[in-house]
Structure 1
Amino acid sequence: MDPNLLYWKSQGQSFLSRVRIWFDLLDPSLLLCSDAQIQGARSLIGGGEDSEKVAAAQTLALSSVHADSGAVLPLVFRPPALMPVAAPLVVASFLPHSSVKPALIWQLLLQSYNAGFNYANRNSSSEQSKTASLKQLLLIAGTVSYATCAGALPQIFINRLGVRSAPIQTFFRSILPIPLSAALAFFSVSTIRIEETETGIQVFDSHGSPVGISKAAGQKAVRETALSRAALFGTTAAVPNLLIFLLNRTRLFQRNSLLVAPLRHISIALILGLMIPVSFSLFPQLGTIKKETLEEELQAAAADGHLFYHRGL
């Protein structure tokens, strides 16, 4: 089992411990380290060096190295890059646009980045090739195209239907984006990583030894990750809108309407930043699957009643 997975097995089995770990791993300064430094940190783990030095190396490896392939993740798709890259895209996507074109452009950028992040951080334990197949590339392109059009639906409805009613505009701009954002985030993970549900992922026994490939584990890993991403984007869409709704009822904001726009931008970025470590921590990185849920040929290997699998991110 990869050293990163062994760390999650020993340190990341409770929700609070995972949140604490992710707050460390999402430090944007980790993006400044070179590939050589990352590989050096990975080789240092378990080497019996000074504990503080090993802890720093462990943090760098967890934030930058794929746990299945052992390769360094692309810079913009590493977990510490999610907040700096996605925050402006999310803020711009949630803005009330005046026409369909800017809504489509910002949705295209956001959904493209989400697709890339989901693909780079998938479970690749059962893949034979390190390069994406034509089928996978077409699937990514189709997912991005569909999610882009669906994400811009509120603005499309407003423009095509010529909506002028304030309550209906509020529905399309503030209420509809909440379930829509959650559904599209769930959809993106489920489709980009569909190969894991079809071919399975590697499972491990309690000693960390690989015992086979399980479709049931692949389905569970993808479902958990999709739910965590839906929670991330659904909450990011819901909380700022609720905050703006409540503040608009106060005298201060009724007299100073120009405060609404900057507060909306700041609250979206703040909620996104807080929800990233929380959503990543909803399910263990090294998950467990019960013996009864596994395929018959793998049940004998589950001596402790369960096997482990890498959930991906």
Structure 2
Amino acid sequence: MDANLRFWRAEGQSFFQRFLLWADVLDPALLLKSSDEIRRTRLLVQTSGKTPSEPIQNDQTKQAFLLSLSSVHPDTDKIIPVLFRPPAFLPITLPLVVVSSLQLQAKQTFFCQFVFHMYTTGFTMMNGNGTTKAEEYSVEQKQIFTGLGAISYAACIGALPLVFMNRYTLKSPLTQLIVRHILPAPLFGLMSAFTVAVVRSPEFENGIEVMDRNGKVVGVSKKAGEKAVKETALSRAVLFGTTFFLPAVLMHFVRRSKFAKTPRALASVRLLMITSVLAGMLPASLSMFPQCGEIKREDLEQEILSSTEETELFYNRGI
């Protein structure tokens, strides 16, 4: 089992533990580390000899694991491109979320959401499960083509309410409330989950590797792949659905209280709220499910049941 997954099993048993770990892993300062330093760090964590039951006391060892978690894919052992590492997710998505949430014209909304979904889809591809098995075609090629289709569809759905409202000149207060304040949050969350499910579809179509407690691969499971994709899609929907919904609700009360009277003050308060919610929800959403996922033996395919007596098996969930 990869050192990253061993670390998650040892240190990320509860939601609170995972939240604190992700808060450290998402530190943007980790992006400044060089490739040579990352490789040296990987050598350190791979030879540390830690077992899942051993807590990590040494601060230097813990920092080495944090750099490994933030920079190296646990399945391929390759360094993740800097723009698609977990610490880069917040700095890059924040301005895209802010612009996408503005009350713009349909064409502008489509473009902003297209760019947003393009980045998050690329992030999903780079951080998904890397043990997908396929012989008849290239998984990467399929992910690129299906991902482009999912990105275009998601951007169209995001702009559709504005197109509908402008075309039929629906200017009533109720329509404005629904289209501009109620619909964006569920649509954004749903489309974020949709792009995850589409780009990672090879995982539940072809299966991912599952391991026993000792890290030995015992088979390839489509059911484990389906579980991994469902959990990641749900966490992504919660992340961006909440990031769109909660600031909109809070801004409603800010306007009513007249706390910020000028448009510039309202814009500053809105930016602060979106930043705070996204910064808090990112580690929370990533902590919803264990990174080293578990699946019960009876939930797996028959061919895997016959090859092991383990009651629980493990897999990399991906991000």
Q: TM-score, normalised by structure 1?
A: 0.94
Give the counterpart of 1:122 among 125, 128, 131: 128
Number of aligned residues:
311
CA deviations on 1:89-108 (whole Å, 9 max, x unpaired) are: 001000111x2221111111
Percent identity over the alignment? 41
**Corresponding position of 1:64:** 71
Q: How do 1:228-247 residues align onto structure 2 when only pairs under 5 Å count?
A: 228-247=235-254
Give the counterpart of 2:114 among 108, 116, 123: 108
CA distance in 2, matches of 1:100, 1:37: 46
Paired residues of 1:26 and 1:80 also in contact (CA < 8 A): yes
Call closer, same or farther: CA 1:258–1:170 in 2, change over 3 Å: farther
CA distance in 1, matches of 2:77, 2:138: 15
Counterpart residue type for residue 217 of structure 1: A
1:209 Cα offset (Å): 0.9
Counterpart residue type for residue 10 of structure 1: A
1:275 aligns with 2:275: no
**Corresponding position of 1:204:** 211
1:136 Cα offset (Å): 2.5
CA distance in 1, matches of 2:258, 2:142: 56
* Long gaps (5+) in structure 2: 50-56
**Corresponding position of 2:10:** 10
Partner secondary structure for residue 218 of structure 2: strand
1:181 Cα offset (Å): 1.0
1:192 Cα offset (Å): 0.4
CA distance in 2, matches of 1:274, 1:38: 27
Call closer, same or farther: CA 1:310–1:133 in 2, change over 3 Å: closer
Give the counterpart of 1:284 among 290, 293, 297: 290
Call closer, same or farther: CA 1:84–1:289 in 2, change over 3 Å: same
1:9 Cα offset (Å): 1.2
CA distance in 2, matches of 1:91, 1:251: 22
**Corresponding position of 1:184:** 191
CA distance in 2, matches of 1:76, 1:84: 10
Question: Which sits farther off after the overlay, 205-214 or 217-226?
Answer: 205-214
1:87 aligns with 2:94: yes
CA distance in 2, matches of 1:289, 1:45: 26
* Long gaps (5+) in structure 1: none
Partner secondary structure for residue 67 of structure 1: coil
Partner secondary structure for residue 259 of structure 2: helix
Paired residues of 2:247 and 2:274 also in contact (CA < 8 A): yes
Give the counterpart of 1:259 among 234, 257, 265: 265
1:184 Cα offset (Å): 0.4
CA deviations on 1:239-259 (whole Å, 9 max, x unpaired) are: 001101122221434x54543
1:154 Cα offset (Å): 2.7
**Corresponding position of 2:150:** 143
Q: TM-score, normalised by structure 2?
A: 0.92
Paired residues of 1:205 and 1:301 also in contact (CA < 8 A): no
1:158 Cα offset (Å): 2.7
Give the counterpart of 1:173 among 165, 170, 180: 180
**Corresponding position of 2:23:** 23
1:119 Cα offset (Å): 0.7
CA distance in 2, matches of 1:48, 1:112: 38
1:46 Cα offset (Å): 4.6
CA deviations on 1:126-164 (whole Å, 9 max, x unpaired) are: 346997543322111101111111111232223222232
CA distance in 2, matches of 1:17, 1:168: 43
